Structure 1
Amino acid sequence: MSPTGNIVTPEGIVRGEVLLDEERIVGVQADATVKGDTYIVPGFVDIHCHGGDGASYTVGDAEQAIVAAEFHLRHGTTTTLASLVSSPKELMLQAIEAFKPLVDDGILAGIHFEGPYLASSRCGAQNPAFLRDPDLDELAELVDAGAGAVKMMTIAPERAGAAEAIAYLASRGVIASIGHTDASYEVAKDGVAAGATAATHVFNGMRPVGHRDPGPVVAVMDSPSVVCEFIVDPVHLHMGTVSFAVNAIGADRIAAITDAMSATGMPEGEYELGGLRVKVADGAARLVEGGSIAGSTITMIDAFRNAVHGAGVSVEDAVKMTATTPARLLGLSDVGAVTHGLRADLLELDAELNLRGVMRAGVWVHRA
Structure 2
Amino acid sequence: MDRLEKYEDWARACMHVRCGFCRENCPAYSQLQLDSYAAKGKMTILYHLLKGNLELDEAVAERIFACTSCGLCDVACGYNQSEAIHEMKTVLYDQGVALPEGYMKISTKTRETGNPYSVDANEGTAFLQSLPESKLSVADYTLFLGCTQIYREKDEIDSLLKILRAAGVSFRIPTDQICCGSPTYRVGDEAQAREQAEKVTNLFEEMGSDEILVSCAGCFRMLSNDYEVLLNNDPKFKIVHSMEFLQELIQEGKLEIRRLEAAITYHDPCHLGRHSGIYEAPRQVLSSITGVELVEMEWNRKFAKCCGAGGGFRSGRGEDAVAIAANRVQEAEATGASILVTACPFCLRNLRDGAQSINSQMKIESVESLLAELI
TM-based fold match above 0.5 = no
How would you bin the TM-score normalised by the shorter chain? under 0.3
Larger RCO, structure (CA 8 Å, separation 6 or more): 1
When Rg is computed on C-alpha atoms for both structures, the one with the higher figure is: 2
Q: Which has the higher helix share?
A: 2
TM-score, normalised with respect to structure 2: 0.26
Structure number with higher strand proportion: 1
TM-score by length of 1: 0.27
